[in-house]
């Protein structure tokens, strides 16, 4: 997973720099999962791009790699605007965007997370969200370990 994150970091760092944001990378040891390298890069590029888009300037995005008995786990945690509890189940729907007026200015389509969820499920993985409005969001992705 480390190689995947490195690639996703490379692809997103120009936008990160524009907002004067930083990565904080927390990897104790690398974890091997069963997956398609390029598809997984797409997943984390999407999640990191969201964290950049929905965070104020001068904040930090923390990237963590962990594991349990079954899964390799990557967390993408930001210090952004957060998502209301009631909205969390809906953000994975196609074309769904929280706060239409504001998000129209940021120019997305609302497809990013629908694609992310589809790709993770194609890997027999899962994604969970923890978020507090005004504090930040943590996206936790679990992908079956390589054995």
DSSP annotation of 98 reads: S
Per CB under 5 A, the segment of 19-27, 87-95, 96-104, 111-119 that binds Mg ion is 111-119
Contact 88, 131 (CB under 8 A): yes
Residues in contact with ligand ATP by CB under 6 A are: 50-51, 53-54, 78, 80-83, 91, 96-98, 103, 108-114, 137
**80 forms part of the interface with Mg ion (CB under 5 A):** no
Which of 12, 45, 50, 51 touches Mg ion (CB under 5 A)? 50
- The answer to whether residues 120 and 127 touch, using CB atoms and an 8 Å cutoff, is yes
Q: What DSSP assignment string belongs to 34-68?
A: SS-HHHHHHHHHHHHHHHHHTS-TT-EEEEEEEE-
Nearer Cβ to ligand ATP (44/54):
54
79 binds, among Mg ion, ligand ATP, none (CB under 5 to 8 A by kind): none
Say which entry of ligand ATP, Mg ion, none residue 44 contacts (CB below 5 to 8 A, set by partner kind). none
Which of 18, 8, 135 has its CA nearest to residue 74?
8
The contact set with Mg ion (CB under 5 A) reads 50, 108, 112
């Amino acid at each position: 997973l480390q190689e995947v994150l490195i690639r996703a970091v490379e692809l997103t760092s120009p936008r990160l720099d524009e907002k004067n944001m930083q990565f904080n990378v927390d990897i104790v040891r690398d974890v091997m999962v069963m997956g398609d390298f390029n598809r997984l890069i797409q997943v984390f590029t999407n999640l990191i791009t969201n964290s950049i888009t929905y965070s104020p300037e001068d904040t930090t995005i923390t990237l963590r790699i962990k594991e349990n008995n079954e899964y390799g786990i990557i967390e993408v945690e930001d210090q952004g605007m957060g998502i209301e509890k009631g909205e969390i189940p809906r953000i994975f729907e196609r074309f769904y965007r929280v706060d239409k007026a504001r998000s129209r200015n940021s120019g997305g389509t609302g497809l990013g997370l629908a694609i992310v969820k589809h790709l993770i499920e194609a890997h027999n993985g899962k994604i969970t969200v923890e978020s507090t409005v005004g504090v930040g969001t943590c996206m936790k992705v679990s992908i079956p370990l390589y054995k």
